[in-house]
Amino acid sequence: MARRHATGRVTDSAAGLGERRLSATTIAPEARRGRGATANPDGRFETTRREILDDGWESEAGPTQPRTEVSAERARTIISRNTSPDIAFDRSINPYRGCEHGCIYCFARPNHGYVGLSPGLDFETKLFHKPEAAALLERELSARAYTPGTIALGTATDPYQPIERRYRITRGVLEVLARFRHPVGIVTKSNLVTRDIDVLGPMAADGLVKVAVSVATLDPVLARRMDPRAPHPEKRLEAIRSLSAAGIPVMVIVAPIIPSLNDHEIETILERARDCGAREANHVLLRLPHELDDLVNDWFAEHYPGRQSHVMSLVRQARGGKAYDSSYRTRMTGSGAYADLVTRRMRLAKRRLGYATERLTLRTDLFTRGAALGAQLTLF
C-alpha cells in the first residue's frame, strides 16, 4: 500500500519487496499512450512533492490510461489585459484552460499550476471550459467605457482544441464579436477553424479578422510525438487553403523552432504555406519557462536521447546561457548567433516567397456597441 509522508513524498510500506521504483514524476509509456507529456510533476506552487512507486498490485490489469476530464470554470470576466511591449495586442480571450492537443513544448503548461494541477499530463487531461464566455464578452463590450482594440483569441491554449466540437465556446465568442463588429485575431493549429468560415468570412470582408495557423513540422512522425492530438500537418495546410479561398487573411507561424530537430524545415514550411495562400509569416524559438524545462528534457530523453545534449546547448546559447530568458523583445526569438541565423533565414525566405513585409492591421472604426441582443434602441 502506498502512503504519503509528512514531506509529501509517496513511498511504500513494503519497500524492498520487489516494487519497481520510477523517477519522481515520469509515467510509464503504456499508461500515457497518445499523450504528449512523459511526466506529471507537481506544480511549482504546491507544498508537497510526489514520487511514483509500483508495488505490483495492478500489474495484471495493466496501468490505467488517464481519460480527458472537463470541468466548468466560472469566470467573472473574459477579456484578459496585458501591457507587454513586444506583442501586437493588449487584450485576449482564452475559452479553455489546459489543452488536449498535448503539445509537449506548449509554453502555457505552467499555467496549470495556478489551479493546483500539474503542467505535465494534467495539462492535457484535466481541462476547463468557460461556459459563460459569450455572455461575459457581450457585457464587457457593452460597457460605455470600453474602447475597441483587436482581441487575440487563443493566446495560451488552442480555441479549437478537440473539446470545442462539443462545447462550441469559441463559436459563441466569435458570434458576439461579429455582432459588435469587433476585430479579432485567432491563433490555432486545428483545421476545426474552417467550421466557422460562415462567421469569419463576412468579418474578413470588413477587415475584422485574421487567422494564424501554427505549423512546427511537416514530418507526421515528429508531429505525432510533439503534438499527439493536434491535426496532421497536411490538415493545417488545408485549413490555410480553405480560409484563404474564403477571403480570410492567414498567417503561418513556424513554432516552435527547436534547434537540430525541426529547424531544417523552415523554408519548406514557408513555401508550402505560401502555396496554400498564407500572406504573412512569423516564428517562435522554443520557450522553456518554469517546469517546461524539465518536461521537455524528459521528453527528449525518451524520444531523442542522442540529440538532447546538443539541442539544449543550442537553446541555452540562444537564451543567454539559461533555459529561458523572459526579457521583452527577445523572449520569442532568442538572441545570439543561432537565433540570429534563424531570423535571417526567415527574412530571406519570406522575401523570396513574397510574404507581406507589413502586418495586416484590423479595423476598429466599425465597432458598434448597440449590437447587444435585447439592447434598447435609442432615438438619436
Q: Which of 172, 207, 242 is the last residue of a domain?
A: 207
Beta-strand relationship, 20-21 and 53-54: antiparallel
Question: Domain check: are 192 and 311 in the same one?
Answer: no
Output the nine-digit C-alpha cell for 260: 537540430
| 35 located within any domain | no
Query: What is the overall mean pLDDT for the chain?
Result: 88
Decide which of 29 and 351 is more confident: 351
The residue segments making up the domain with residue 308 are 215-356
**CA 3: distance to chain centroid?**
35
Q: What is the rounded CA–CA span in Å between residue 225 and residue 291?
A: 19
The answer to whether the bond into 256 is cis (omega within 30° of 0) is: yes
Round the CA-based radius of gyration of the chain to a whole number and report it. Answer: 22
Q: Residue 120 gets which letter from DSSP?
A: S
Question: Does residue 226 sit in the same domain as residue 349?
Answer: yes
| Same-domain pairing of 141 and 232 | no
- Report which residue type is found at 106: C
Whole-number pLDDT of residue 22: 35
Query: Is the distance from CB of 70 to CB of 265 less than 8 angstroms?
Result: no
> Does residue 346 fall inside a structural domain?
yes
* Whether the Cβ atoms of residue 43 and residue 50 lie closer than 8 Å to each other: no
Within-domain flag for 364: no
Report the helix count and the strand count for the chain, using DSSP H and E. 11, 14
Inside any domain, residue 278: yes
C-alpha cell at 367: 465597432
Residues 155 and 191 placed together within one structural domain of the fold: yes
363 lies in some domain: no
Domain annotation covers residue 379: no
221 and 187 in one domain?
Answer: no
Do 225 and 182 belong to one domain?
no
Same domain, 247 and 323: yes
pLDDT of 74-86, one tens digit each? 999 999 999 888 7
CA 276: distance to chain centroid?
23
What pLDDT, in 10s, does the model give residues 108-160?
Answer: 999 999 899 999 999 999 999 999 999 999 999 999 999 999 999 988 899 99
Same domain, 196 and 229: no
Q: Could you tell me if residue 321 is inside a domain?
A: yes
Q: How far apart are CA 330 and CA 323, in angstroms?
A: 13
Among candidates 257, 261, 275, which has minimal Cα distance to 341? 257
Phi, psi dihedral angles at 124 (to 5 degrees): -105, 0
DSSP state, 375?
P
Structural contact between residues 180 and 141, judged by C-beta atoms closer than 8 angstroms: yes
Question: What is the rounded distance in angstroms from the CA atom of residue 323 to the CA atom of residue 320?
Answer: 8
Q: Which three cell numbers stand for residue 312?
A: 539544449
What does the alpha-carbon distance between residue 12 and residue 15 come to, in Å, rounded to a whole number? 5
Tell me: do 219 and 351 sit in the same domain.
yes
- Residues 335-371: pLDDT tens digits? 999 999 999 999 999 999 999 999 999 999 999 986 5
Q: How many domains does the chain have?
A: 2
- Residue 368, in any domain of the structure: no
Number of Cβ atoms within 10 Å of the Cβ of 168:
17
Q: Which pTM was predicted? A: 0.87
pLDDT digits (tens, 9 = 90+) for 41-62: 887 877 666 666 555 555 555 5
- Based on the domain organization, do 162 and 262 belong to the same domain? no
| b/e per residue 331-360 (b: at least 16 CB within 10 A) | bbbbbeebbeebeebbeebbeeeebeeeee
328 bridge partner residues: none
Each residue's pLDDT tens digit, 247-303: 999 999 999 999 999 999 999 999 999 999 999 999 999 999 999 999 999 999 999
Q: Is 280 helix (H, G, I), strand (E, B) or coil?
A: strand
Q: Are 173 and 221 contained in the same domain?
A: no
User: For residue 40, what pLDDT is reported?
Assistant: 85
Same domain for 189 and 283?
no
Closest CA to 181 of 322, 325, 362, 342: 362
